[in-house]
Amino acid sequence: MRFAAPPSKNVSKDVFHPVFDVDQQGRPVMRYIDQFVQPKDFEEGVWLSELSDAIETSKGILSVPVPVWQIPVD
């Protein structure tokens, strides 16, 4: 999947990675920022839109508090 920042972010390099992957311990992970993803075609755009809708309406959402000025890193 291609992720590209808008011109206002002053980032000229696109990033490519799968939405679903596994971490170093073999656990499933999801890396997805709906604002920056660039679908390759209409079908992929529809799939991404449905993915976003499913995430936003899921009853299984887990909120993790993150203190100000800190970022979660695994």
C-alpha span between 39 and 25 (Å, rounded)? 29
C-alpha span between 31 and 52 (Å, rounded)? 12
Q: What is the pLDDT of residues 31-58, one digit of tens each?
A: 888 788 999 999 999 999 999 999 999 9
Give the global pTM.
0.68
Nearest to 6 by CA among 46, 38, 32: 38
Percentage with pLDDT > 90 across the chain = 46
The per-type count for the chain, helices as H runs and strands as E runs, is 1, 5
C-alpha span between 55 and 34 (Å, rounded)? 11
Q: CB of 5 within 8 A of CB of 11? A: yes
